[in-house]
Structures are given as C-alpha cells and as structure tokens.
Amino acid sequence: MRNRIISLLFGALLLTSPVFATMSRASNVQLAANSFPAPVPQYLASIITAAATKYRVDPNLIAAMAFRESSFNANAVSSRGAQGIMQLMPRTARALGVMDSLDPQQNVFGGTKYLKSLLDRFHGDIDMTLAAYNSGPELVAKLGPAATQESVAYVAAIKSYYETALRSLSLS
C-alpha cells in the first residue's frame, strides 16, 4: 500500500513538472503498451517508439494521445475532417510534410513532430500543449488551457491515460 501511494505521488509530481513529456534520453523510456484502455497494437507500438526517439517525446504521451484521438484506428476520420491515428487536420498534415494521413507511420511521425513543436512553444507545459493540439495554439496562447470545454475534457482524458501508463511502469 505504501509503495502504491509513493508511486501515485511520483506520477503526480511528474505531471506537474514542465518538462516531463520531453525526454533527454528517449531510448530509455519504455512504452507501457498494455496500460491503455485498449492495448497498443504491436505494429503501432514500434512506430510510436520510433517517433518518440526521433522527436524526444515520451512514447506513453504519444500513445495516450493516439488512444484519445482515434482509439488506435489508422482509418479514423472525424466529422471535422481530422484523419488517422493522431487525427491530423489536412492543412496541418501538409504543413508537417504528411502526404497520406491514413498511413500510420506518416501520421504518427507528423503528429509527434507537431506535439514536440507545441511542447517547445509552451516550454513543456503539458496542459497548454495538449489544449493547443486540440483547440489550436493561437487560441490557447491567448486564453490558456481552458480555452474551450472540449479542450478541458481532452487534456483531462489524456493526462489520465498517461498517468496510468507511467504508474504501470513504476510498478513493474
């Protein structure tokens, strides 16, 4: 019980640290593929791990976003037109160099590249970064992470999945 409480406190401290999602040693962070509401498919786990290493972002944050965005469905298309695992809007995808948003590797690498740019822009602030991914960086820069009700729910969901993944790693 005591170890569980310590793990929970450690996880909470990590989430309040402004740089917890960016990694200085990307290759040392393990993906907790079975700790999400649905396990990360094996093919996708390798793509997420490669993108995490390239862009130096925690693979568990990428996976948490991928689950929230598409439930790991490479063919997902939202009513607003966002596409693929990381739900990239066509204009954003083009700006990131993604030619086929329904291609899992292109989508995850593009989404992770965008995530990293937001982490850098908002100095590692996870709430601002996630809200900006959801609602747009200009709106969030002006109004903060509670810019929309949708972004508040979005940030809370991803942080919950991410905390669960980090907790499972600390218990193993």
Question: Which residues participate in catalysis according to the annotation?
Answer: 69
Q: Are 107 and 113 in contact (CB under 8 A)?
A: no
Amino acid found at 164: T
Distance CA 146, CA 40 (A): 29
Q: Are 86 and 108 in contact (CB under 8 A)?
A: yes
Distance CA 58, CA 60 (A): 5
Strand partners, 11: none
